[in-house]
Amino acid sequence: MHKLIKPKLVKIRSANEAKKYGIAAANLKELIKKGCNLLKVSSSKVHVCLYDDGTVLTEEYFQNVPDNTELVLLPEGQSWNGLVHEINQVLGLDRDTDLLISAAKDLLSDEQSPKRRRILGDLLWNLRDNSEVENREEDNDWFEGIDGRFKTKSAYMRYNCESRIRGYLKEVDGYMKTIPNVKAKSEYKKMVEILAEKLKAARYNGTYFDRSERDINRLCTEEGWFTCQGAFDQNNCAFLHSINPYGSRESRILFSTWNLDHLIEKKRTVIPTLAEALKGSKIADINVDYFYKLLFTRENLKLVHIVCHKKGAHELSCDSRKIYKRVRRTVK
């Protein structure tokens, strides 16, 4: 007398659709036959795997899965790597952004878990991206609080960067009042004027934040995405921080907390070293380009998220071989 095998109740779906079907099957062969009929796929060379992690089912494995386990039916050539597949599907749904926003809002309206509310809130914030538009009339909300003379996002972001760099120049100029020696102060003042002229010619390096600039001149992608370059003593950002201030007003405001961090510190090291070098030398002897690059360019600046901005001493010094111009020796 054959022992009757109790059918196992499972849920099955395809890799391309989220809709699930309940199936009762006593063995894997029966499951595949019923699943193929429901999903309208050929039963030739079909396999079944777990929805959660993509583990392929054998007959023995099938007999040990609990009821209501979610499974995926896969024709030959298709694979499933679990939830990673679902995440990739969501990330690739740019064309269905409105649908995603609506779904996220519905979930958020009834969600009580603070953690899940935070995740859904972050998803909504990132989905409400309007970075593809550039002009004020196309995205008035982005320009709220911004002077009317700025007609494009790129123009304002360029100004934003210029303002930061101008602030560095102001700090260099402000150091002059700490120099007691009249002659040294006079040389220092001339140096500030030269640096100001170089910055003016470079348009205060505002190109760093301007997505309309050439790739070599900007710190962002052509879409406007900025990536944290990591703390001064790290090669990259361990947290994978990124932001697109062109996307929304909130992102633009949050971007103001990101820093252009001097690797060799501006206040602690670069400015005092410059002042010290000018004490016994004239500007003609000083390597102006070296100090200009340290103070105002990407050679000594890293764009960092506020979390990656270490405010302690960097303990890095100016290169003594580059402070002064090299003296050309003439052969007699």
Domain ranges of the chain: 8-81, 93-128, 153-308
Q: What is the DSSP letter of 260?
A: E
Decide which of 182 and 271 is more confident: 271
Cα(210)–Cα(257) distance, integer angstroms = 17
What's 8-81's CATH class?
A: alpha beta
Q: Poorest-confidence range of 86-95, 132-141, 151-160, 206-215?
A: 86-95
Q: Taking CA 315 as the corner, what is the angle to CA 302 and CA 176, rounded to the nearest 5 degrees?
A: 80
With a CB cutoff of 8 Å and minimum separation 6, the contacts of 81 are 53, 54
Query: What is the signed CA dihedral for 16, 18, 23, 26, rounded to 10 degrees?
Result: 60
Number of residues assigned to the chain? 332
Q: What is the pLDDT of residues 257-304, one digit of tens each?
A: 999 999 999 999 999 999 999 988 889 999 999 999 999 999 999 999
Q: What is the pLDDT of residues 151-162, one digit of tens each?
A: 999 999 999 999
Task: Give the residue-averaged pLDDT of 105-113.
Answer: 75
Structure tokens at 300: 């000594």
Rama region for 203: left / alpha / beta (φ>0; ψ in -120 to 50; rest): left
